[in-house]
Amino acid sequence: MSEAATLTKTVELRILRYLPASDESPSFRSFQVPYSDDMSVLQALQTIKDTLDATLSFRWSCRMAVCGSCGMMINGEPRLACNTFLRNLPPGPVTVEALKNFPIERDLVVSVGDFVKKIESIYPYIIPKEPKTVAQGTYLQTPAQLAAYESFSDCINCMLCYAACPQFGENPDFIGPGAMALLQRYNGDSRDGGQQKRLDAIAGEDGVWSCTAVGICSEVCPKHVDPANAINQNKTNSAFDFFLHYLRKDAAQ
């Protein structure tokens, strides 16, 4: 960027700031940033941090919608800052806030502890149907078996679906769309034998049954994971399990 003259246009970013050491509550602060056509909201935030206010805090890493770090509310909608471009936003100031439905740690950084606990609660790993030794070789899978769960494995844990979900907003204990998509990623895997454990984990009111099929989780998902579909499949599974569990021998345990 040689001539400063090419960057005369600016864009205003209204950012919700919160510095726990000095602020009682979050409040908006505006910044003017030199605008260019190829600038993402993340780049605008980086420009602010580099040139205007080094205390501004936000999470980011990959800049290419792979890592899931830079989820935030942009003009009131949960989006990844790295793949939201200023040129696609309506003219006027751009409002940037921390992800909705999560406690703010500082500026645009939210606390993810609860989300991680939910992810951990659904056994997010393959529990082999039949354990094999290395000598017995690898677990084989057909393309159709891979297709059954593959889209659910695209989740990047960006939590946009949690910020969009009104039921999670009402009930922070709701396991939520992201964890349910991950659950389906494993329950749908032909190599996995842990379906019952996972179904038991979501059979409560805060499990799959807090969902009221709003469906906005799938709309805001930047990776087209379709968590609403994962939840619906598991409502069916959990409903059958509700009646079948009376018939199982180990049900009393």
Residues near other proteins, by CB under 8 A: 121, 166, 170, 200-207, 209, 212, 235, 238-239, 242-243, 245
Q: How far is the CB of 177 from other proteins (least distance, A)?
A: 17
CB closer to other proteins out of 43 and 237: 237
Give the type of residue at 46.
Q
Stated as kind and residue range, the H or E segment containing 71 is strand 71-74
Q: Vertex 76, ends 73 and 67: CA angle to 5°?
A: 25
Q: 159: closest CA among 59, 47, 42?
A: 59
- With a CB cutoff of 8 Å and minimum separation 6, the contacts of 28 are 14, 15, 16, 17, 95
CB closer to other proteins out of 105 and 206: 206
Q: How far is the CB of 206 from other proteins (least distance, A)?
A: 8
CB closer to other proteins out of 28 and 242: 242
CB closer to other proteins out of 153 and 232: 232
Q: How far is the CB of 203 from other proteins (least distance, A)?
A: 5
Query: Cβ–Cβ contacts within 10 Å for residue 1, how many?
Result: 7
Q: How far is the CB of 29 from other proteins (least distance, A)?
A: 33
Q: How far is the CB of 68 from other proteins (least distance, A)?
A: 25
The full 3-state SS of 154-166, as one line of letters, equals HCCCCCHHHHHCH
CA atoms within 13 A on the CB side of 108: 27
CB closer to other proteins out of 156 and 202: 202
Q: How far is the CB of 243 from other proteins (least distance, A)?
A: 8
Q: Vertex 115, ends 58 and 225: CA angle to 5°?
A: 90
Q: Is 29 exposed, middle or buried (0-12, 13-18, 19+ CB in 10 A)?
A: middle
CB closer to other proteins out of 14 and 235: 235
